[in-house]
Amino acid sequence: MTYRVCFVCTGNICRSPMAESVFRARVAEAGLEDLVEVDSAGTDGWHEGDGADPRTVDVLDERGYAVAHTARRFQPSWFSRLDLVIALDAGHLRALRRIAPTPEDAAKVRLLRSYDPAAGDDLDVPDPYYGGRDGFEECLEMVESASTALLAGIRDEVGGRAA
């Protein structure tokens, strides 16, 4: 049975496609591509149909991550097919839980940095869109750090399903 994860930010052109690319690479490195499906979306539809922000593509490319992306808006109906919905900041967390059809669906929504023990109380991945390149690099570091622990948690979940 496939475990499905969707990363969500505002417009689905910066943080969530970055998280999708990094996590997809982590899943592949772990040999779990057949068991874990990775996706991303935005809470709003401003950029639907657009590719990832060029700055996102640049920092991912420099670190060896592949990115093929078309922005889209998260739909409440997706909850039924997803196991985990990863919000990139507290605003996304609230928005996603608000549109969740059931309490069980709302419980599927978690903050990405909640998986990173080094994050402390600062669980938001800041939006780099209106800043410079350094914001995208900082965002990537946060995503990479949290992705390792997220993968460990999902590996345990996938292992439990296979047992």
How does DSSP assign 107-131, residue by residue? Answer: TTEEEGGGG-GGGTT-------TTS
Tell me the HSE value of 46 on the side-chain side, using a 13 A CA sphere.
Answer: 10
Catalytic amino acids? 9, 15, 127
Output the CA torsion 156→157→161→163 (10° steps).
20
- Cβ atoms 143, 38 nearer than 8 A: no
Alpha-carbon distance 67 to 10, whole Å?
A: 18
b or e along 80-117 (b: 16 or more beta carbons within 10 Å of the residue's beta carbon)? eebbbbbbbbeebbebbbeebeeeebbebbbbbbebbe
Could you say which DSSP state residue 39 is in?
E
